[in-house]
Amino acid sequence: MDFFEHQDVARKKTGQLVLLFCLAVVSIGLILYAVGVVASGYLMADRETGAWAIEWVNPLAALFSVTLLLLIVGGGTMYKLVQLRAGGQVVARSLGGRLLSRDTNDAGERRLLNIVEEMALASGTPVPPVYVMDDERGLNAFAAGYSPSSAVIGVTRGAIDHFSRAEMQGVMAHEFSHILNGDMRLNIRLMGVIHGILLLGIVGSMIIRSFFYGSMMSGGRSRGGRKDSGGGQIVIVVLVVGGVLIVLGAVGTFFGTLIKSAVSRQREFLADASAVQFTRDPQTIAGALRSIGGYKHRARIVSPHAPEASHLFFAQAITSGFSSVFATHPPLTDRIKRVDPSWDGTFPQVDEAAYPEVRSGDRRAGQGPGGEDRTSLERLQDVLPIGAAGAVGGAAGAAVQGAIAASVLESIGRIDEAHVEHARGLLTSIPEPIREATNDAFSARAVIFGLLLHDDGPERKKQLDRLKSSADPAVVRALARILPSFEGVGPELRLPILDIATPALAAMTADQAVTFIDNARALAEADEKIEPFEWALLRIVERRLRSMLGNERRSRVDYYAMHKITDDVSVLLSAVARAGHAALESQRLAFDHAAQQLRVPGLAFKNESDSGLDRLGSALETLTRMAPRLKKQVLAASAVCISADRMVTPNEAELFRVIGDELDVPVPPLMPGQKLA
């Protein structure tokens, strides 16, 4: 199953989630209706004979049940979904997570950050902020967010202290699979649904507690010291309603567990398989699962918010009385057997006090003496070889173009060793002052401004003067400190620097983000024109900040047929053709290759005035609403367009990344200078 098939499956699972939610609400509503009928019959009973007036067709009971459902279940669900709009950071904080800074001195935390950075750069996603749950001793982790742009990684202290590097790499590959394949959006919506259903029990408990508190305060007497029989009836009804809501809370727990089980268990098997595909070593993920099985605290999470978030975690986070049937995760033994059929069924004894490298003796690439990770400047110096330019011969026909497109598409939604090795090389090549400046929000803003500055001359002076008049003085001072380091930054490092600065930018407030974007746009427009890279950087930064601040664009599908969007596709492919080819004839040839890949009538090459950056931006806004299979076709055609001369220029690589980012498709980097055939 490729990335785009995963997206379709995730959408179908969302439909299944809605169906299960509706069944749960209908079942609860019927119980509430029956309670309303009985309560109404009791209140309307004949005082002389004591006969109850039970009427099963009862508008009052219907109003009662519908009102409670709308207020409690519907309101609770909507409240939680609105609360979660800010993305995964809300989930991480609710679970006791602490945002991990990249300047940490803890060896295990540094190792974790290095693994996450490598995987993010290799897969074409923003580097997600990492949160550490310091109070959690269980071995567990999670990924949460609506999209890769708003994703966060959460890891327990127990996992940091007890997983070896290989095991942590397997766990992070598993979590990145959830990020890449659309599982997170489904999981975070599931949190909202579960909260609305479970809220019934919470409200019932509040009613009961409020009643008893009120009774103690009033002494249970009416005015004049006499018992009020009518008031007594109402009290009984209130107590019954509160008790029923508590029972319905238990019913809601049952349905919530059932829904989480139905939605998430198979996704865990798929994520395990993806982790094995990346690491090419089943023992990474199998070793982590075996460590959980042999550890005293296993994967247990003690946070009070764990029940509603249990389906997010790497392994079973809470103990359930119905664990064999309604568990959110498959049994450890089943998961291990799937990735390691030769496993003998025994779990290693994991010492609670042991540090992972001491426990396992694992001293793998990227680790120094004592098990700590080396800094980026101490990492491998090897970068993937940059290919020399090659001429396009007439023999490069449709078969070669199709193979190139297939290769690019196959890499989407996956992480492979070649891209990880390339990511390590890029991280090594970033000057250390710039790396250090991405540690906090102030200096990270300075890093982005540094990427937008011209090399030298009056344009740079104009940019700096404008920045000094509008930006925070602390940011201006940070820029002055790191400015000399940008002299050694090549085009291939610009987007990786943006990626590693993303987590720190997430710490900005909404007002700071608005000011930051205004200043960045002013820098780009200082020379009264926007270059392709400036446009690409602004598009990526603005979209990521919207996601991190809870203003992420909602995903919807409006287009299922390519013929309805041929003009926008023509604009996109024309822009891609111009990004890597100077001569008009070469641009048209590249466009024709891409059009042959799509085979859709109506595609036409656009001149620069009809497919400039502004028009390209509006075309991308339209194309974001394509069905996943159409996104796949458009990206394939873009790859063919880029490969017309069998080379990737920096402009092509950056534009292809922007296209993927806008379409919510994690595109591994096309490496500038890379030969595509």
Query: What are the residue boundaries of the structural domains of the chain, listed by start?
Result: 1-355, 398-412+555-662, 417-548
Q: What is the mean pLDDT of the chain?
A: 79
Cα(254)–Cα(378) distance, integer angstroms: 52
- Most confident among 288-297, 301-310, 502-511, 650-659 (mean pLDDT): 288-297
667 token code pair = 């595109």
In sequence order, what are the beta bridge partners of 627? none
Q: How far apart, in whole angstroms, are the C-alpha atoms of residue 107 and residue 538?
A: 35
The residue type of 104 is T
| Under 8 Å between Cβ of 188 and 143 | no
Of the ranges 117-131, 397-411, 486-500, which one carries the lowest mean pLDDT score? 397-411
Mean pLDDT of 463-471: 88
Q: How far is CA 327 from the centre of its chain?
A: 23
Full-model pTM = 0.75
Encoded tokens for 206? 């509040």
Comparing 186-195, 530-539, 593-602, 630-639, which segment has the lowest mean pLDDT?
A: 186-195
Q: Pick the residue with more confidence: 353 or 421?
A: 421
What's the Cα-to-Cα distance from 663 to each of 4, 24, 566, 667, rounded to whole Å?
11, 34, 16, 10
Indicate the SS3 state at residue 448.
Answer: helix
**Do 376 and 430 touch, CB atoms closer than 8 A?**
yes
Percent of the chain with pLDDT over 70: 77
In the structure, what pLDDT confidence band is assigned to residue 302 with cuts at 50, 70 and 90?
A: very high
What are the catalytic residues? Answer: 175
Distance CA 231, CA 97 (A): 48
Residue-level pLDDT at 365 = 37
Residue 64 CA, chain-centre distance (Å), reads 39
- Please indicate whether residue 200 or residue 118 has the higher confidence score (pLDDT): 118
Type of residue numbered 463: Q
Q: Are 566 and 603 in contact (CB under 8 A)?
A: yes
The residue with tokens 């909404």 is 510
Task: State residue 361's pLDDT score.
Answer: 39
Q: Which two tokens stand for residue 37?
A: 């009928």
pLDDT digits (tens, 9 = 90+) for 71-81: 877 888 888 87
pLDDT band at 434 (very low <50, low <70, confident <90, very high): very high
**What gap in Å lies between CA 58 and CA 477, rounded to an integer?**
72
Residue 135 per-residue DSSP state = T
Q: Which residues of 392-413 are buried (b: 16+ CB within 10 A; e: fewer)?
A: beeebeeebbeebbeebbebbb
- Nearest residue to 154 via CA among 180, 169, 172, 170: 172
Q: Are strands 152-156 and 130-133 parallel, antiparallel or unpaired?
A: parallel
- The dihedral over CA atoms of 616, 622, 625, 629, expressed in degrees to the nearest 10, equals -60
Does 151 or 220 have the greater pLDDT score?
151
3-state secondary structure of 16: helix
| All residues at 6 or more sequence positions from 419 whose CB lies less than 8 Å from its CB, including other chains | 121, 122, 123, 411, 668, 669
Provide the pLDDT for residue 2.
Answer: 52
227 pLDDT more than 70? no
Confidence label for 65 from pLDDT (cuts 50, 70 and 90): confident
Sorted by sequence, the CB contacts under 8 Å of residue 217 that are 6+ apart come out as none
Rounded Cα distance, 137 and 590, in Å: 56
Higher pLDDT, 676 or 129: 129
Q: How far apart are CA 139 and CA 552, in angstroms?
A: 31
Structure confidence by residue, pLDDT tens digits, 96-110: 999 998 888 899 999
Tally the residues of the chain.
Answer: 677
**Statement: residue 321 has pLDDT above 80:** no
Residue 269 identity (one-letter amino acid): F
Can you give the pLDDT at residue 76?
A: 82
Tokens of 96: 């006791």
DSSP type of residue 379: S
Distance in angstroms (rounded) separating the CA atoms of residues 107 and 514 = 36
The amino acid that residue 323 corresponds to is S
Neighbours of 436 (CB within 10 A): 17
User: Which residues fall within 8 angstroms of residue 84, CB to CB, at 6 or more apart?
Assistant: 90, 91, 188, 191, 192
Element (H, E) at 408: helix 398-411
pLDDT for the residue 381: 29
* CA–CA separation, 127 and 503 (whole Å): 7
Q: Which of 113-127, 321-335, 424-438, 487-501 has the lowest mean pLDDT?
A: 321-335
* pLDDT score of 360: 44
Residue 43, CB-side half-sphere exposure with 13 Å CA sphere: 15
Q: What is the DSSP letter of 295?
A: S
Q: How far apart are CA 523 and CA 92, in angstroms?
A: 34
**pLDDT at residue 479 in the model:** 93
Of the CA atoms within 13 Å of residue 540, those in its CB half-sphere come to: 31
Nearest to 490 by CA among 278, 252, 324, 653: 653
Averaged over 510-524, what is the pLDDT? Answer: 90
Q: Of all residues in the chain, what percent carry a pLDDT higher than 90?
A: 29
H or E element, residue 61: helix 59-68
Order of strands across the sheet that contains 152-156: 97-99, 130-133, 152-156, 141-144
Q: Of 174, 242, 253, nearest to 208 (Cα)?
A: 242
Comparing 360 with 639, the larger pLDDT belongs to 639
Q: Summarize the confidence of residues 365-372 as an average pLDDT.
A: 37
Q: Which of 376, 356, 372, 339 is nearest to 168 (CA)?
A: 356
pLDDT of residue 559: 92
The answer on pLDDT for 418 being more than 70 is yes
- Cα atoms in the Cβ-side hemisphere of radius 13 Å centred on 300: 9
Distance CA 218, CA 135 (A): 43
Q: What pLDDT was estimated at residue 46?
A: 62
